[in-house]
Amino acid sequence: MQALYLKKGVVVKISLIENGIDSLKKGFESLKKYEEMHFIDRRGEERFYTLKDAILSINHGVEILFKQVLINHNELLVFSDFDKALKSAFKEKRQKKLTSIFETEKSPHTVTMQEAIDRLSSFCGIEIDKKMLLKINQLEKYRNQITHSAIFIKEEDVSDTFNGLIDKVDTFFLQELKDSYSSVSGYTEFKEKYQEYLDKSDETQQDVKRESIEKLIEAFSKCSLSMGQNEARIVDDINVAMQVMAILKSSSLTFGADFYNNHNTGEIGEIKRISSDVISIFTEDNQTDYRFKFKSLMIYLPEVESDFSPILFFEADDSTVDTEFGSFVKDDFSGKKVLSGIHLVDEARIEYDREKINKFFHDMDDDLIPYRSFWSIEYYLTKGIFCFINVQGLNYGRMGRILDGSHSLKEIQVILNRGK
């Protein structure tokens, strides 16, 4: 919507959806700047003012776009009261042939954020994701404190509120507002770039890159993730992380991995969840089961037209083992705690006792003793970046440097996003 030039000057005209998208984009830009100030530049209290801007802008953008969704269903739903003032405004709009009721002399009062959420559910049958709703409600509490009083908010709590919010906001409004909404992340541009790539590429070439991108698009769609090329996104929900991995593995792609302890593999066999929070990565070429307690997964999406592989980083959390295995836990070269053992296939059990394991391998050299199938188990118990996974056949550059333990996964995400 363009500004109109009248005799008395310029009338600022910004449509509701333009208003909302602008606030969202500026809010998430402020959030990105805040994270750079916090995790890279190590600035002091200056970053709090940038965080405040992020809270206010994102809260405003979400509220305005909720109202746009209501209007798309029925314009009357966006107004708080069906009173004389509203009737007068509609009459003025007709008489003056205005394009919007918000151009009237006394613009009618619209619903609050909470009332908008309630009407979306009650009148439109639109249920907002519970996790998104919790984050939006918390964000509004921060907004109210900022608007009406001095600010006393735990920085960690705000970070938790923002974590994953961009995915949920983009997914919701892309679904409800369709093509009139442009993603806050680079997802919309990413889809356009990929279509351009397909239009000018030879279908017989770059099959690996094409399939890897198509599988990621499928994962983004099914897991409600939103990101663009040269962006990194952290997922801290193990259910979502495992769903992403399952979709990627349901392809003809082959995946390799590099681990923090200099182990590597050219062929990952299976990635599975063996308990509520423990993941197992089995490698075919060295017959090893690598285990760790899940903390987060970071997805890095490179440029569509590059030969670079999408990269997936797993971050481990601190873990413990049953007391009966405590004496078998050792420190590795980096000082991280590891429980090493072997899985005896025929006996369907795991052995961690080093003396018994040594005897097992000694017996392997005795031709008189029948061969017993096994594979190795390495259970890592210390938090930190655990490994990265890449698509075989595509370049992964010098990503191995990230495994040196000098940065947290969040810091790596901010660094990669800054270089975008």
Q: What is the pLDDT along the chain (420 residues), one digit of tens a residue?
A: 444 444 566 778 888 999 999 999 999 999 999 999 998 888 788 999 999 999 999 999 999 999 999 999 999 999 988 888 888 888 888 888 888 888 888 778 899 999 999 999 999 999 999 999 999 999 999 999 999 999 999 999 999 999 999 999 999 999 999 999 989 999 999 999 999 988 887 665 558 999 999 999 999 999 999 999 999 999 999 999 999 999 999 999 999 999 999 999 999 999 999 999 999 999 999 999 999 999 999 999 999 989 999 999 999 999 999 999 999 999 998 899 999 999 999 888 999 999 999 988 888 877 777 777 899 999 999 999 999 999 999 999 999 999 988 889 999 999 999 875
Q: What is the predicted pLDDT for the residue at 119?
A: 96
Measured distance CA(217)–CA(195) in Å, rounded: 12
Angle at 351 between CA 347 and CA 356, to 5 degrees: 105
**Cβ atoms of residues 232 and 299 within 8 Å:** yes
Beta strands in 177-247 (DSSP E): 231-235
Measured distance CA(72)–CA(58) in Å, rounded: 21
Q: What is the DSSP letter of 333?
A: T
User: Which position has the token pair 């279908």?
Assistant: 203
**Cβ atoms of residues 253 and 392 within 8 Å:** yes
**Cβ atoms of residues 111 and 79 within 8 Å:** yes
How are beta strands 231-235 and 374-380 bridged, if at all? unpaired
Angle at 322 between CA 320 and CA 324, to 5 degrees: 135
Q: What is the predicted pLDDT for the residue at 189?
A: 92
Which element (helix H / strand E) includes 210? helix 207-223
How are beta strands 278-283 and 288-301 bridged, if at all? antiparallel
CA 330 to chain centre: 34
Q: What is the predicted pLDDT for the residue at 409?
A: 93
Measured distance CA(399)–CA(302) in Å, rounded: 12
Measured distance CA(414)–CA(409) in Å, rounded: 9
| pTM of the full structure | 0.87
CA 300 to chain centre: 10
Q: What is the predicted pLDDT for the residue at 203?
A: 63
Cα 302 to Cα 29, 188, 216, 319, 402: the distances in Å are 20, 15, 12, 32, 16
